Amino acid sequence: MPASASPASPHLVALTAPEAIPVPTREIAVTTDGLTRSYNGINAVDGVNLRVPTGGIYGLLGPSGAGKSTILKLLVGLTRPTSGRMSILGHPVSPRHPPPPGAIGSLIEGPSYYTGLTGRENLTMMASYLGLPSSRVTYVLAGVDLSGHENKRVKHYSTGMRQRLGLAMALLADPPLIVLDEPTNGLDPAEAAEIRGLIVTLARQEGKTIIVSSRFLSEIGQMADTVGVIRAGRLRYQGPLSGLHDDGVIEITVSAPTAVSTLLTSLGVPHEVHDAVVRTAMMPDNAIGELITSIVTSGTTVYRVQTVRRTLEQAFLELTDPPSPVAQPLTATREAWPP
C-alpha cells in the first residue's frame, strides 16, 4: 500500500474482511493448536494452528527465518514445544507421547548418510535397524530413481542424487506422513523438477500426506493442494493457494477525496483514501453505478473508475513482508480454516 496512508488518518475506514474459506471435508492428518516454541524469550513459533488434510501436499511457505524449520522439527519431535498441542494421524503427541513408530518419515536440514558407503549400503543399514526386508530397500531405490546408482558411493553422488537418497530414507518404513524441509534447496532446475515430481507422485499415487516447506511461491505452487503462509513465527494464511487471491478493489479518482470520504462514511461504505484515490471493496455493477452517481451529484468530479486485483505474488508478499509503520492493509489478516 502507498506510504501516504496512515492508520491515524481521518479519511480511513477499514474495509470489511473477505469471507472465510469453508472448512474442508477431508480428514485431517495433522492438527496443532497454539503451537509455540520460544528461545530466550522470543517466539520462533507463535501460536500456530495447523490443519493438514490427509492424502495431499501441504506447502509451508515463508521467507528465511519465518519459523518453517522449527515447526517441522516440532512435528517430528526434534525439538519440544514451549506450549500448545499437537495431534498426528489421530494420536495426541507430546514429549512423553511421541508419534507412533513408523508414522513419520522426514528430511530436515539435509539427509544424513555415510558418504563412504553406497546408496544401497546406507539404506540396507537403516533397514536392518528398523527390521525391514531388503526388498523394501530395492523398492524405494526404484521409487526415487536411484536403481542405476545404488552401488555408487554417496561421496560421488550429485546434490540431486543425495536428496533423492534422503527421500528414499524417509520412505523406507513406508510412513503415511512425510515431512520435507526445503527438499529442492541448492538443486539445479532439472534436479529440483525431479524432486517435485517424486513428491507429487507420492501424494497422488501412493496416498501419502506430505508437508513440504519452501521460501518460493512458485515452488509450492507446483506441488501443494493446501498452503500455510508463515511470517515471524505466525500463521498468516491457511487454505487453498487460490484463496490468497481476493476479489480486488474499486479505485475511484476524484477531485475532492475528503468530501467523498465523508459521503461514503454517511452511506456506510467501507473505504480507504490515498491522495486523490478512494478505494472500496468490490460490489455489483449496479451498486457501483449508484455510488458514482451519488459522488457526482454531491458536486465532486470523478476522473477515473477502475478495478484492481492483486496477483498471487502480491498477495504472498503482503502476507510475508514486514508491515510498514504507516501503511494500512486493504484486508484483514486471513486464516481460511478456523483454529
SS3 at position 244: helix
Question: What pLDDT score does 18 carry?
Answer: 30
Strands 42-48, 28-39: pairing kind? antiparallel
Amino acid in position 141? L
pTM: 0.73
Amino acid in position 125? M
Report the candidate in 128, 127, 205, 110 with the shortest Cα–Cα distance to residue 173: 127
Question: What pLDDT score does 76 carry?
Answer: 92
For 234, the grid coordinates are 505466525
Residue whose C-alpha cell reads 549400503 in the numeric block: 121
Give, as one character, the DSSP assignment of residue 300.
P
Question: What pLDDT score does 110 carry?
Answer: 75
Measured CA distances, 116 to 136, 141, 157 (Å): 22, 18, 11
Burial class (CB in 10 A: 0-12, 13-18, 19+), 315: buried
Is 57:223 a contact under the CB 8 Å cutoff?
A: yes
Which residues does the chain have with pLDDT short of 70?
1-26, 246-247, 322-339
SS3 at position 31: strand
Domains of the chain: 28-243 (3.40.50.300), 249-309 (3.30.70)
For 29, the grid coordinates are 492428518
For the stretch 120-157, pLDDT in tens is: 999 999 999 999 999 999 999 998 989 989 999 999 99
In angstroms, rounded to a whole number, what is the distance separating the alpha carbons of residues 60 and 68? 7
In angstroms, rounded to a whole number, what is the distance separating the alpha carbons of residues 215 and 217? 7
